[in-house]
Amino acid sequence: MLALMMRIGLLCTIKWMMGLTAPFLSVAGVDVSGRSLILLLGGLFLIGKSTYEIHAKIEGIEEFHAPRRRGRFAFTLAQIVVLDIVFSSIRS
């Protein structure tokens, strides 16, 4: 249900996001717009998450203690929402 609400919300704001093409910052001669900043942060999140997952898989890191249900669920839900936002904005 949360993913559905996020998708509807993203569809309503996609026009605003696509309009963020005006540069508001220049770093080393490269203009940075809101849209490029959103894509950069989303890409960094994906790189960090995949690196962590690959490292855990290769090293065989396992959680031996039972995680707290409430905190773990909220963290997982937040990651799903961020991934949903990132993949929705990449397809745009």
pLDDT tens digits, one per residue of 3-44: 778 778 877 777 777 777 888 888 888 888 888 887 888 889
Residue 10 lies in a domain: yes
**48 is in which domain, residue-wise?**
2-18+36-91
Is this model's pTM higher than 0.85 or not? no
47 HSE (CA, 13 A, CB side): 6
Q: Residue 57 and residue 32: Cα distance in Å, rounded?
A: 36
Does 62 or 40 have the greater pLDDT score? 40
Mean pLDDT of 48-56: 89
Residue 61 falls inside a structural domain? yes
Q: What is the pLDDT of residue 62?
A: 65
24 occurs within a structural domain:
no
Domain count within the chain: 1
Is residue 29, in this structure, part of any structural domain at all?
no
Name the nearest CA neighbour of 18 among 33, 6, 3: 33
Start-to-end CA span in the chain (Å): 22
Burial of 76 (0-12, 13-18, 19+ CB in 10 A): exposed
